Amino acid sequence: MFLRNACACVLLAPLLVYRGRSLLRAERVGPYGVRVTISLLSMQAWFYALSLIPIGEVTAISYLAPRCLARWVRSFCWARWCAFAAGRRWPSALRVR
């Protein structure tokens, strides 16, 4: 985890130098803070959970995660297409912007 974040900092440092401090300004800091907090807590919970289960199950979960995500996305898009084909508008809360 540290190595991934360190590499991201090294790769994004030239962008920060080029754009300056204006790159760090945000209009709504609150939602970003909530998102970062949830992300950090979920990552810590994931690593803690991985330490509790056998290595074989960890491997199986890591191999199956992309497949499960792909199936979820496919079913989500299929439901959206069916709603569109039936002439119904998609609820605005679920609309991709």
The per-residue pLDDT for 24 is 75
Specify the pLDDT at position 21.
78
pLDDT of residue 86: 66
Q: How many CA atoms lie within 13 A of 33 on its CB side?
A: 5
* Cβ proximity of 94 and 88 under 8 Å: no
The predicted-structure confidence for 7-50, as pLDDT tens digits, reads as follows 988 998 888 888 887 777 778 878 888 988 999 999 899 889 88
Integer-rounded Cα Rg, in Å, for the chain is 20
